[in-house]
Chain A
Amino acid sequence: MALKMVKGSIDRMFDKNLQDLVRGIRNHKEDEAKYISQCIDEIKQELKQDNIAVKANAVCKLTYLQMLGYDISWAAFNIIEVMSASKFTFKRIGYLAASQCFHEGTDVIMLTTNQIRKDLSSPSQYDTGVALTGLSCFVTPDLARDLANDIMTLMSHTKPYIRKKAVLIMYKVFLKYPESLRPAFPRLKEKLEDPDPGVQSAAVNVICELARRNPKNYLSLAPLFFKLMTSSTNNWVLIKIIKLFGALTPLEPRLGKKLIEPLTNLIHSTSAMSLLYECVNTVIAVLISLSSGMPNHSASIQLCVQKLRILIEDSDQNLKYLGLLAMSKILRTHPKSVQAHKDLVLQCLDDKDESIRLRALDLLYGMVSKKNLMEIVKKLMTHVDKAEGTTYRDELLTKIIDICSQSNYQHITNFEWYISILVELTRLEGTRHGHLIAAQMLDVAIRVKAIRRFAVSQMSALLDSAHLVASSTQRNGICEVLYAAAWICGEFSEHLQEPQQTLEAMLRPKVTTLPGHIQAVYVQNVVKLYAAILQQKEQAADVQAAQEVTQLLVERLPQFVQSADLEVQERASCILQLVKHVQKLQAKDVPVAEEVSALFAGELNPVAPKAQKKVPVPEGLDLDAWINEPLSDSESEDEKPKAIFQDEEQRHAKQRPPEADEQELARRREARKQEQANNPFYIKSSPSPQKRYQDAPGVDHIPVVQIDLSVPLKVPGMPMSDQYVKLEEERRHQQRLEKDKRKKKRRERERRGTRRHSSLHTESDEDIAPAQRVDIVTEEMPENALPSDEDDKDPNDPYRALDIDLDKPLADSEKLPVQKHRNTETPKSPEKEDIPVMEKKSKKPKKKEKKHKEKEREKKKRKEAEKKPSKEKKKKHKKDKEERTKDKKKSKKKTPPREGVAEPMENGALDEDPLPPMSSYCLLAENSYIKMTYDVQGSLQKDSQVTVSVVLENQSSSFLKSMELNVLDSLNARLARPEGSSVHDGVPVPFQLPPGISNEAQFVFTIQSIVMAQKLKGTLSFIAKNDEGSTHEKLDFKLHFTCTSYLVTTPCYSDAFAKLLESGDLSMSSIKVDGISMSFQNLLAKICFHHRFSVVERVDSCASMYSRSIQGHHICLLVKKGEKSVSVDGKCSDPTLLSNLLEEMKETLAKC
């Protein structure tokens, strides 16, 4: 041993340490991968040594390599070894490595439970600290459950250093093990008033995080936090608390009112930008939740906007960005306050930083009104021209379209302008958003009837210049607009000035280079055009012209017939035949126009995008009960997009009488006036009689903002949008003049002309009359449309589990699980049925300990653990159960009381000399690769099922995978296999085993008769993989179902036991074993443990015992100890079972 140590330390001198490794990597820049793989080989050698210092060094290097992206999960076990080193130096490295590379999928993580527990209770605060820090990174649900109680105890540690860490890690524990929240919460709340500011702030942190996810459960803490907020001077804490209030106020508006004052005070007084920003955000949240009912909230809004303006004007890009971000929140509820700062926002559009420009764009979206839309879009268009980089330009493009099309084109007064904007956008090269522009063109042309003539003229111009579009931008999306152009020209061909010219444009050979779906639309719309031209020519009785058109089609269509695109080909050949037929008819002087036009008769109506979703469930399809009441008609009408302009469509049977409409409008206008009156930013218009929408143009007053227009070069046929801006200004000016005139007249009439008039009048939005009488066709919706009720809650949200009521008093059952005596049998949960389940929660702690019982180190620890509780239990011996439960409640260890469950080892208590650790797992089979031990457990709820838990331990240096277990079923016992597999199929083991690791798998067997023991032959097959390669291996075993394995430890009271014996329907049998030297106490313990009995009563050297089989047989024993012998008398409802059981018992006792 000493020599080994010496060797280890000498070796260590030649080992690379971390610095050498880092240096080495830096020196091997060209062949880094090779160098590192060499290093990893060295590390593997180092890890094989016994010297912990060498191992720690190796693990430290591995941690570095992990950061560089190398997989080190194979060393997980070594990391655990280093974690359990007694020296802090190594422990620290071990925990660091674990926190960097362990995650929930790391299977060895469950081996750490005891180590971590030991470290948590270490006398050195740094050991505890390092364990807590590590745990915070890799806590799993199992670890959380097993350690929750330990951590909770640490929350009251004497050292604040530990307390604050324990408090913080509790949050992670709650997330992984939500059941711990209620039991731990009172203590957490206590920590809000901890004398140490660090602990206090930790508690604030945790509660704020919790409350942010599920605010309603924390409302009752509001007064406490309010106190903290007004007293604390720590900005870190203040920010958290204020954030918490932001989450609480939507639920409790009164809280919001109370908050405004202290928050505004903070806004005024603080110099910390982070705190200021948090306050502003929370004030905004408060105001949003209040929205109305706060008389002076405009002052607060004003303050926020002012402060944000300061942020935006700051030279610090970060503040600018955040200012804009917060501004957009205000915009949602108080657009008017933000609109006053339009200048600032527009200025930000010129910022160097793209993210700031994008934020400003977001803001613009909400700032547009009828009045300023054209101006803003004009500004954006200049940015589009200037923008470098397609991403930002594309963003601008989508924003322009968003801004214009928002709320059903609410802000557009002149659709000709909008169409020309769209046309201008088509000149953008390399944009991906051609389809967006196309969709807008279609939408506008279809829904705004009045614009169709203009749209068609623009589109035909586009088609005419199509060679420009198509040639240079074939690869990008802009040619998509041709799709829209072709369709519009075809569908609304009656508006075309020169249809013939357009038709020719659409039949140019260049067209065939367009994408297939666009060509298909071309072909289809060529016919529409053709139909229109025929009609026109026939009416004019111009037979020759009609025939010429037909001839043109016959000549040009074949180029489409040859298309590789099926759709194009099909349509073209179809139409070609049609046209040829028409040609024949024309030759015979038959009028054909009527019939060709009939192909395209009728109008296409737009369908709302949500229409399909809103189709109500048909009557016949009864879903038993309504979840919601069926909707009334009025509600469904509200769901429809509101048309701003009068809806002239006759489709709606129930149109409101116009009077009601006007009344409604008047009412709304009144409400708006009221709102404007309360708004300091709103510059009131001079009192003028209200006018109605329908009041046609000319009743308006409009300010004149002279815009200096650089006269753009006019492209023939392509009007510039700028012109429209100018025209619009003129038009509005005209309107205003007329209105003024009228007003003046009226005033004179009313003899009120002495007053100053229209000195500062700005028109309100709704005063601007649209240039065209525009009808926006509403999209069609099915009748009785249902509102969409999307559930926006994500069922996978990890925070949902923490939605727990914390005000309810704690129930007895809500206690944190505590470490239990290792031999304490907890019952298997009854719902164990399906094919191999890994482990049941309730018994995990016990299992885990058993699993690595072979390890010397573990054993020692367990013995220590055994000693403690056994002292406690001495007192309890022979007391009946109620008393025990009470006792436990009083004692610090809070074992949840379980009904009808006894802990057998308690009965056989370890009074005198403690037994060596016992295990119910016995060897199943073993070879050089793997060792299998197993245990059979039944449950009273399943009378013909037992669960076999097999612990598989990898004894080799190979990696074992694809393990599969199979047995040869007998008539009496069968392995439960997954559904759909045959009796010859094996059941896969749900894990893989790295070298030196063990894990447990469970298999369910169905048993017919339990009175006899039986053996099943089986095989475990697996693939062993090591450096040389992988081999297929097998291990045969015999699974022994003893009669004992069908027993379930069941407690029995002495009176019930006596009754059972008296009943007389039990048969009896007995055995006697000689040569026993073991104490009676230990003897009973052995019977209890190995044969699953519980002691009913014990008098001197005589004891009565009881157990029950899974099929409900009662088994009663009377055990008597003589000088050197033991006799056992048994009574049981089944004689065969009893005699078999006693035989098995005899074997056990013979070993004593």
Chain B
Amino acid sequence: MQFMLLFSRQGKLRLQKWYVPLSDKEKKKITRELVQTVLARKPKMCSFLEWRDLKIVYKRYASLYFCCAIEDQDNELITLEIIHRYVELLDKYFGSVCELDIIFNFEKAYFILDEFLLGGEVQETSKKNVLKAIEQADLLQEKTENVYHSKSFIVCKRAY
């Protein structure tokens, strides 16, 4: 997979992950072009389109479009499966995910994606394992954050 984009029906980018090195300018250009093309497609149309020398696989979930670019020989159906699996993961993590969850916790959405895909390849096919890894990492984060919070709280108290 070359990259993954998430954008809203209004064409606002919600998440982007690039697995090939490109300059910011090029990324912006591609994003603009793809968002336009995909949004212009009618709902009854199939989820694949040929674009430059890549294949674009996209799927709409509620108000969000998930859009992946794959290479010529890649399997479109498994890419749809990947998108679906990612949505399931988000759903499990946030508990029936909505667009706002992804907007306000966009870093979490990235962390989940990073546990699921690495360098454009699926790294973990088991949903359970992905979520376990994320939960444990979050736990680690919360621990340190709590320590930090309590400390700063004490410090604050003392300061006043």
Report which A residues bind B (CB closer than 8 A).
5-6, 9-10, 12-13, 18-19, 22, 53, 60, 63-64, 67-69, 71, 73, 87-89, 92-93, 96, 99-101, 103-105, 124, 126, 129-130, 132-133, 136-138, 161, 164-165, 168-169, 171-172, 198, 201-202, 205-206, 209, 212, 234, 236, 239, 243, 246-247, 273-274, 277-278, 317-318, 320-322, 352-356
Contacts and interface: CB of A to CB of B under 8 A. Distances in A.
B103 interface: yes
B13 A322 contact: no
Contact of B155 (A5, A53, A205): A5
Nearest to B121: A205
Give 6 nearest A-B pairs by CB, closest first.
A274-B77, A317-B46, A9-B152, A136-B119, A321-B46, A133-B114
B96 interface: no
Given A5-B155, A22-B104, A129-B137, 15 more contacts: A9-B156, A10-B156, A19-B104, A53-B148, A67-B16, A71-B24, A88-B137, A96-B111, A103-B22, A132-B118, A169-B118, A202-B121, A317-B45, A317-B47, A318-B48
Nearest to B147: A87
A161 B49 CA distance: 35
B121 A88 contact: no
Interface of B: 13-19, 21-24, 28, 42, 44-49, 73, 75-78, 80-81, 103-104, 106-107, 110-111, 114, 118-119, 121-126, 129, 133, 136-137, 140-141, 144-145, 148, 152, 155-156, 158-159
A324 B135 CA distance: 43
Contacts of B77: 273-274, 277, 318, 322
B118 A165 contact: yes
A278 B75 CA distance: 7
Contact of B118 (A101, A136, A318, A355): A136
Contacts of B107: 18, 60, 63, 92-93, 96
Contacts of B125: 198, 201, 234, 236
A1072 B39 CA distance: 83
A124 B81 CA distance: 32
Contact of B73 (A13, A126, A243): A243
A12 B121 CA distance: 39
Contacts of A88: 137, 140-141, 144
A659 to B, nearest CB: 48
Given A133-B114, A318-B46, A202 B141 contact: no
Contacts of A169: 118-119
A137 B19 CA distance: 6
A458 B75 CA distance: 50
Given A67-B15, A136-B118, A168 B106 contact: no
A324 to B, nearest CB: 10
Contacts of B126: 198
B64 to A, nearest CB: 14
Given A87-B144, A165-B123, A239 B49 contact: no
21 contacts: A10-B156, A53-B148, A87-B144, A88-B137, A96-B111, A96-B114, A100-B16, A126-B140, A129-B137, A169-B119, A171-B121, A198-B125, A206-B121, A236-B122, A236-B125, A243-B73, A274-B75, A274-B77, A274-B80, A317-B46, A353-B45
A87 B75 CA distance: 40
Contacts of A137: 17-19, 119
A225 to B, nearest CB: 17
B145 A89 contact: yes
A73 B45 contact: no
Contact of B103 (A22, A92, A206): A22
A498 B28 CA distance: 62
A140 to B, nearest CB: 8
A9 B155 contact: yes
Contacts of A246: 73
A163 to B, nearest CB: 11
A311 B57 CA distance: 18
Nearest to A234: B125
Given A9-B155, A67-B15, A355-B46, A104 B21 contact: yes
B90 to A, nearest CB: 16
A63 B110 CA distance: 11
B123 A202 contact: yes
Nearest to B85: A236
Given A64-B106, A68-B13, A168-B123, A356 B24 contact: no
A73 B24 contact: yes
A243 B124 CA distance: 19
A1119 B131 CA distance: 66
Contacts of B42: 352-353
A60 B156 CA distance: 24
A239 B75 contact: yes
Contacts of B73: 212, 243, 246-247
Contacts of A53: 148
Contact of B23 (A92, A105, A322): A105
A168 B49 contact: no
A984 B68 CA distance: 55
B83 to A, nearest CB: 12
Contacts of B49: 355
Contacts of B45: 317, 352-355
Given A136-B119, A212-B73, A318-B47, A92 B111 contact: yes
A220 to B, nearest CB: 22
A274 B123 contact: no
Residue among B123, B133, B140 with the highest chain A CB neighbour number at 10 A: B123
Nearest to B32: A69
B121 A168 contact: yes
A12 B152 CA distance: 10
B129 A198 contact: yes
A317 B44 contact: yes
A168 B124 contact: no
A960 B25 CA distance: 23
Contacts of A99: 114
A1121 B87 CA distance: 75
Contacts of A22: 103-104
A909 B37 CA distance: 66
Contact of A356 (B22, B46, B104): B46
B27 to A, nearest CB: 9
Nearest to A135: B119
Contacts of B15: 67
A352 B22 contact: no
Given A6-B155, A88-B137, A277 B47 contact: no
A536 to B, nearest CB: 56
Nearest to A199: B123
Nearest to A26: B103
Contacts of A202: 121, 123
A26 to B, nearest CB: 8
A136 B144 CA distance: 26
Residue among B44, B77, B119, B155 with the highest chain A CB neighbour number at 10 A: B119
B54 to A, nearest CB: 15
A274 B118 CA distance: 21
B81 A274 contact: yes
A434 B44 CA distance: 32
Contacts of B129: 198
Contacts of A93: 107
Given A169-B119, A201-B125, A234-B125, A103 B44 contact: no
Nearest to B13: A67
Contacts of B80: 274, 318
Contacts of A5: 155
Contacts of B141: 88-89, 92
